[in-house]
């Protein structure tokens, strides 16, 4: 069997696709069950976060496994396979191990070095154990990933390379100002009471907000989080829980809103946000067109201007445009078009000389301009319009941080004056060019070493049942020969019988010791998987005996692992 991972993340897919492909808890459970029910897979685990969806499986066929896992991801995410496929990545065997270890260390996170992913990996393992889809391989893999992630954070400064997604998002809201100073005294509304929302609430409390209101569909969880915040030793914040129906009212009071729920639809619409801003400012929140361009509608009929012979009525030209540009000449008649073309070229038009029977060169020039105008409906732009000053946006009075996937807050809120919205998509854009700390190289070396160690341990473990079966067969041979000896020497006393038995066992153990130790060492090396087959062939071991040893070991391990991840 071999490890295979198929997935998509913020590195391979746009946020719009990740948003549509997100999986709720129930969908994850069903995906796990359907994966192990499929022919190529015997184990499965799902790692689903706000910016990644990955399906891990132990498969016996690579190509069939990729096809099956991709199809299952598409079916359960609701995104068609043809649409989803271009964004999927595949890792196999050691590359799959390397990928998960890198994820656990925060190297593959949107914000490098963030530690939130460790809790999400732990939750993924727990879910796979609860559904009984995690066997020896995935239990070993995920538990080792947790250890590698903890080692990276304890032995290096990877935490300095980035912050948690919450901290990073708050820094974007504060436009680079220290979060502590920016947040001090503000009122915060936290929508959701899960791990990410709880982290956001704790971060805001430590930053010095005056009040935190927690809204959640399950009132017990909201009240519990509010109690934890109120009783915290390192904070001095007032916290209270409210039902989701109170969110519109709380929007009129809050300065900062953080939302991270598992809802499949919008929690805050643009209209709800606009209403919240309106109640604070006393007027309707205008919509700002971030992509607004000055209209190029036809100008009023043109007449001769007064600036250096320009044939345009400058009073009819919109401010900010050059009279050399296409917007200035749109809609003019042919006679004025001819005059404007000559004026723009720095010459004058002698109507008496040129007219319709003027020089051939002038006729060709005018004909070309007229043909272009009749075909395209306008004169080609010869000079870029002068920049138009955009009216400044008003200072935000409401700061929104959306950490949910799919999004909780309508993206149209970006366009509302007085609102600053930071969501997963904008965080991805900002973090794409974030600098990497020098500690990242050290973490990469840790990951490489741990991948090699994990592979060696797995290969060695693969041969262990064969070695155990070999020693069991040898013990059976010894027992059979001792019984045969007793039949031939019935008068053998107990002392001599015990000495002979011990001697024969020592001989067998010494004969088997060196080859079994050496075969474990060889099996741990890359390409050592064939040594188990060699042992079974050389000693004519019963495959069922080897399999029964494996089942016994897995049963023992499962009893221990079902107690939960370490």
Which stretches of 78-135 are DSSP H helices? 81-84, 94-104, 116-130
**Is 310 known to be catalytic?**
no
Q: For residue range 240-271, what is the model confidence (pLDDT) as tens digits?
A: 999 999 999 999 999 999 999 888 789 999 99
Q: What is the pLDDT of residue 299?
A: 35
For the CA atoms of 75, 77, 78, 84, the dihedral, rounded to the nearest 10 degrees, stands at -80
Higher-confidence residue of 97 and 433: namely 97
From CA 252, how far away is CA 277, in angstroms rounded?
7
136 in a known ligand binding site:
no
Residue 183 has pLDDT above 80, yes or no: yes
285 in a known ligand binding site:
no
Q: What is the pLDDT of residue 296?
A: 38
Residue 40 has pLDDT above 80, yes or no: yes
Residue 393 has pLDDT above 70, yes or no: no
Residue 388 has pLDDT above 90, yes or no: no
- Average pLDDT on 88-111 reads 91
Q: What is the pLDDT of residue 355?
A: 44
List the domain boundaries for the chain. 2-161, 165-287+394-417, 458-562
- Average pLDDT on 522-547 reads 69
Q: Rounded to two decimals, what is the model's pTM?
A: 0.59
From CA 268, how far away is CA 399, in angstroms rounded?
13
Supply the mean pLDDT for the chain. 79
Q: For residue range 356-385, what is the model confidence (pLDDT) as tens digits?
A: 444 555 566 666 666 665 665 555 554 455
In angstroms, the first-to-last Cα distance of the chain is 25
114 in a known ligand binding site:
yes
To which H or E segment does residue 203 belong? helix 195-207
Residue 198 has pLDDT above 70, yes or no: yes
393 in a known ligand binding site:
no
Q: How many CB atoms lie within 10 A of CB 320?
A: 13
Check for a shared fold between 2-161 and 165-287+394-417: no
Band (55; pLDDT cuts 50, 70, 90): very high
Band (354; pLDDT cuts 50, 70, 90): very low
- Average pLDDT on 185-204 reads 90
CATH class of 165-287+394-417: alpha beta
To which H or E segment does residue 187 belong? strand 187-191
From CA 59, how far away is CA 82, in angstroms rounded?
23
Which residue out of 50, 105, 260, 310 is catalytically annotated?
A: 50
- Average pLDDT on 513-522 reads 75
Q: What is the pLDDT of residue 303?
A: 38
From CA 73, how far away is CA 254, in angstroms rounded?
39
What percent of the chain has a predicted confidence (pLDDT) above 90? Answer: 34
214 contacts 193 by C-beta, under 8 angstroms: yes
431 in a known ligand binding site:
no
Q: Which CATH number fits domain 2-161: 3.40.50.300, 3.90.1150.10, 3.40.30.10, 3.30.460.30?
A: 3.30.460.30
74 contacts 31 by C-beta, under 8 angstroms: no
320 in a known ligand binding site:
no
């Amino acid at each position: 069997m071999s490890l295979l991972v198929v997935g998509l993340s913020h590195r391979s897919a746009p946020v719009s696709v990740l948003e549509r492909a997100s999986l709720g808890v129930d969908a994850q459970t069903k995906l796990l069950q359907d994966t192990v029910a499929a022919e190529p897979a015997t184990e499965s685990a799902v790692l689903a976060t706000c910016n990644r969806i990955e399906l891990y499986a132990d498969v016996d066929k690579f190509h069939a496994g990729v096809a099956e896992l991709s199809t299952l991801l598409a079916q359960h995410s609701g995104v068609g396979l043809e649409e989803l496929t271009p964004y999927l990545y595949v890792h196999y065997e050691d590359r799959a191990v390397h990928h998960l270890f890198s994820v656990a260390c925060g190297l593959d996170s949107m914000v490098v070095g963030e530690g939130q992913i460790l809790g999400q990996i732990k939750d993924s393992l727990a879910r796979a154990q609860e559904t009984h889809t995690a066997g020896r391989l995935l239990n070993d893999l995920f538990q080792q990933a947790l250890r590698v992630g903890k080692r990276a954070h304890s032995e290096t400064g990877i935490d300095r390379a980035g912050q948690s997604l919450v901290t990073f998002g708050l820094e974007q809201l504060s436009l680079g100002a220290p979060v502590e100073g920016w947040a001090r005294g503000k009122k915060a509304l936290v929508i959701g009471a899960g791990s990410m929302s709880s982290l956001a609430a704790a971060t805001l409390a430590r930053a010095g907000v005056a009040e935190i209101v927690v809204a959640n569909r399950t009132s017990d969880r909201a009240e519990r989080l509010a109690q934890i915040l109120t009783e915290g030793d390192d904070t001095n914040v007032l916290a209270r829980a409210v039902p989701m129906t109170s969110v519109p009212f709380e929007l009129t009071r809050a300065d900062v809103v953080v939302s991270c729920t598992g809802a499949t639809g919008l929690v805050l619409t643009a209209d709800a946000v606009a209403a919240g801003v309106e109640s604070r400012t006393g007027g309707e929140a205008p919509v700002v067109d971030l992509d607004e361009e000055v209209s190029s509608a036809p100008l009023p009929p043109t007449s001769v201007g007064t600036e250096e012979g320009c044939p345009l009525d400058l009073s009819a030209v919109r401010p900010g445009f050059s009279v050399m540009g296409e917007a200035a000449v749109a809609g003019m008649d042919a006679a004025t078009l001819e005059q404007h073309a000559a004026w723009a070229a720095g010459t004058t038009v002698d109507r008496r000389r040129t007219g319709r029977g003027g020089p051939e060169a002038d006729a060709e020039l005018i004909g070309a301009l007229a043909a272009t105008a009749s075909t395209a409906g306008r004169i080609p732009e010869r000079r870029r319009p002068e920049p138009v000053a955009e009216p400044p946006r008003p200072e935000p009075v409401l700061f929104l941080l959306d950490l949910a996937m799919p999004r909780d807050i309508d993206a149209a809120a970006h366009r509302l004056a007085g609102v600053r919205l930071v969501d997963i998509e904008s965080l991805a854009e900002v973090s794409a060019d974030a600098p990497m700390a020098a500690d990242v190289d050290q973490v990469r070396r840790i990951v490489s070493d741990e991948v090699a160690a994990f592979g060696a341990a797995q290969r060695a473990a693969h041969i262990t049942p064969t070695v155990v079966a070999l020693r069991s067969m040898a013990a059976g041979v010894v027992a059979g020969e001792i019984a045969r000896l007793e039949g031939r020497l019935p008068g053998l006393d107990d002392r001599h019988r015990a000495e002979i038995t011990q001697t024969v066992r020592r001989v067998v153990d010494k004969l088997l010791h060196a080859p079994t130790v050496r075969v474990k060492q060889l099996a741990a090396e890359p390409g050592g998987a064939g040594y188990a087959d060699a042992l079974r062939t050389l000693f004519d071991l019963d495959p069922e005996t080897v399999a029964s040893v494996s089942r016994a070991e897995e049963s023992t391990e499962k009893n221990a692992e079902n107690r939960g991840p370490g």
